[in-house]
Amino acid sequence: MAPDAPLSKIGHELLDDPAADPAVVRESLHHLARSNAWFGGLAAVRAGLRRLLGGEPLERLTLLDVGTGKGDIPRALEVDFAVRPLGIDRHRAAARLATANGVPTAVADGRSLPFGSRAVDVVLVSQLAHHFSPEGIVALVREVSRVARLGVVLADLARSRLAQVGFHLGSFVLGFDRVTRADGITSLKRGFRPAELARLVEEAGFTATVTSHWGARLVATWHTAR
């Protein structure tokens, strides 16, 4: 997202700040990748991509992951689907990690993507939207929809007190660092109800299918071809 994109007013997370300490960012991204694997993030994205593609021929589709982190999710999708992953992230440390992990990643922001209209087949936005205010989310949805030829998968968190408790306990078991533990709770507080997420996508001009998944996950998908 662009520097002037309004952030969520709920709490503060390390990855809100593109100038955060690169060493701390790298450690947190390592634990976030483990969280995606253990707490349903990857499974939710897989379900959303299956729904979006439906009967689409499994040609070598390009998939742009906006806010890719260390590239763990698009790297896993490359194994499961016929996709060629690309990434962007506004943290240089993340872009370097993702590229080293096999996902070519540029430093860029989600509200001003360095791609032409319909330049990629599918755009993935995973656990990024909750960082921003409703206005920022609507701007993000419009921009990612602009560059997606087929459609968008937006996966994020459902607001849940029970999930906060579960994440708190699980993060200690898995040995997450202090920053990631605190940010995980903030992320869940910033999460959505299904109707809220659908309404934000509608404000941006698209109609999304929103489903709930285990691990307090929500997945919105919509097609962009008109």
Query: pLDDT tens for residues 11-50?
Result: 899 888 989 999 999 999 999 999 999 889 999 999 999 9
Let me know: does 61 contact 84? Beta carbons within 8 Å.
yes
Q: Kindly state whether residue 204 falls inside one of the protein's structural domains.
A: yes
Query: Once rounded to an integer, what is the mean pLDDT over residues 193-198?
Result: 97
Average pLDDT over residues 150-161: 95
Q: Determine contact, residues 145/115, Cβ cutoff 8 Å.
A: no
Q: What is the DSSP letter of 88?
A: E
Torsion (CA) 86, 90, 91, 96 in degrees, nearest 10? 30
Q: Is residue 3 part of a domain?
A: no
Decide if 6 is inside a domain: no
- Answer yes or no: is 5 within a domain: no
Which H or E run contains 192?
Answer: none
pLDDT digits (tens, 9 = 90+) for 109-125: 998 999 999 999 999 99
Q: Identify whether 157 is part of a domain.
A: yes
pLDDT in tens, 118-148: 999 999 999 999 999 999 999 999 999 999 9
Q: Assess if residue 8 is contained within a domain.
A: no
Instruction: Tell me which residue of 103, 82, 122, 132 sits closest to 29, measured CA to CA.
Output: 103
Per-residue model confidence (pLDDT) at position 64: 98
Count how many domains the chain has. Answer: 1
Q: Is residue 4 situated within a structural domain?
A: no
Q: What is the CATH number of the domain that holds 204?
A: 3.40.50.150
The per-residue pLDDT for 2 is 41
Range of 172's domain?
14-223
What's the angle, vertex CA 2, arms to CA 93 and CA 71, rounded to 5?
Answer: 35
Spatial CA neighbour of 128 closest among 197, 204, 75: 197
Q: What share of the chain is helix, strand, coil (3-state, %, to 5)?
A: 45, 25, 30
